[in-house]
Amino acid sequence: MTIQRRITRKVKVGSVFIGGDSPIVVQTMAATKTRDVEATAATIAKLSNYGAGIVRVACDTSLEAEALAEIRKRVDANLSVDLQENFRLAEKVAPYVDKIRYNPGHLHQLEPSLSWEKKVEYLVGVAREFDCALRVGINSGSLDPDKLRNYREKLEHNDVDPSSGGNDASFFDPPLRSALEHVECLDSLGFDRYVVSIKDSDPETVLFLNRRFATLKPLVPLHLGVTEAGAPPRGILKTRTALEPLLSEGIGETLRVSLTVVADQKEQEVAAGKLILDNVSKGIVASVDELKKNALNIVSCPGCSRTQSKRFVDLAHKIDEATQFARESPFTIAVMGCRVNGPGESDDADIGLWCGGDRVNLKNSGELLGAFSYDEVVEKVVELLKEKISRLKK
């Protein structure tokens, strides 16, 4: 059985194409420090040889941009760069990569007096000059605060029904609204060499958002993923329950499985991506019902060069193991490794951990309880979880 595909625009990224009649591309991301040229170059080569069609690296500073130039000399792979707060770095990294991923939720942070439309126009100019593709990378954990504020005000006044799924979806749902606005902006600039991703840590939300976007913008290639899926095997199952149904419906031209694993085990993401494609080709499609057997939801990011401590991955696994006694409890625990989605995900969770270099910020339903050492925070989480379960039973 072959995967039945919709036909979108075809976007060139280095030696591969995303969309059209091209094979679905499996991606991953390096988790080594970008400034460590030798380690990052070796990781990229390893992942590319393992079958990653595109490998992404994070770049936040001029020093990392200089390192990326050296990395490019050492590897023959299709490279994507991940920009967050500093969109101006695009011109420094574009000569060395094949695709630039920007996050609409972070465009407001640098040069706030400049409109986001002007910032996108700048990114398009850079992409054209250096022959790069763009990815509009929307993540529910780091949305534009103005859109969130407007949405919450509308909800408070009962002006929108987020469960309706109607034609007003582009207005009431901030991630979808953001995606559609950026598509309209890019199209107005006459630039069509882009893909879009709309990710969330909840598989059902990923299903809804991507189905709606595919209906509204059928020609735009979609990059699929469940963000902060967590450690395997749960993180693989969580991703399968979103991506396999979408792919079986013909939605999705490239994908990444975001797993909480150490830097030298990122090939597990590639293997999981291949598994998903193989499953769909065989007619195997995971159901969200499989996830609901365990009500406890562990959200943890995959780690990247922004992760401040190597202990983060080990902590995520320890939290997963230590909380299995509560697997039937309807709570969410978020274990986040950096500033990008850390604040949003840890604020939204029942128990949130935002990991720094040597301390972990612990939050109870968004309220900061304090900063604890990596050694003591697991016990604090277990105590807090037991308190929540006790209150739930009363």
Helix (H, G, I), strand (E, B) or coil at 95: helix
With a cut of 70, which residues of the chain have pLDDT below it?
Answer: 1-2, 154-172, 292-294, 303-309, 339-345, 394
Q: Give whole-number Cα distances, 14 to 17, 69, 100, 170, 280, in Å.
A: 8, 16, 12, 32, 26
Topology adopted by domain 297-393: Sulfite Reductase Hemoprotein; domain 1 (3.30.413)
Q: What is the pLDDT of residues 49-66, one digit of tens each?
A: 999 999 999 998 999 999
First CA to last CA distance, the chain: 52
Computed over every residue of the chain, the mean pLDDT equals: 89
pLDDT digit string (tens) for 338-380? 766 566 667 778 999 988 778 888 999 888 999 999 989 999 9
Please provide residue 82's backbone torsions phi and psi, each rounded to the nearest 5 degrees: -105, 110
The pLDDT of residue 228: 87
| Ranges of H-type helices in the chain | 37-50, 62-74, 90-93, 116-129, 145-156, 169-172, 174-188, 203-216, 234-248, 267-281, 288-291, 311-322, 342-348, 377-393
Predicted local distance difference test score (pLDDT) of residue 299? 86
SS3 call for 102: strand
pLDDT of residue 171: 45
Question: What would the DSSP string read from start to end of 271-321?
Answer: HHHHHHHHHHHTT----HHHHTTS--EEEE----TT-S-THHHHHHHHHHH
Under CATH, which number does the domain 11-291 receive? 3.20.20.20
To which H or E segment does residue 54 belong?
strand 54-58
Q: Tell me if 318 sits within 8 A of 378, measured CB to CB.
A: yes
CB 351 within 8 Å of CB 363 = yes
- What is the model's pTM? 0.88
Residue 348: the pLDDT is 79
pLDDT at residue 290, rounded to an integer? 72
Q: Which pLDDT does position 336 carry in this prediction?
A: 84
Q: Which residue in this structure is represented by tokens 């598989």?
A: 203
For the chain, domain boundaries = 11-291, 297-393
C-alpha triplet 383, 388, 391: angle, nearest 5°: 125
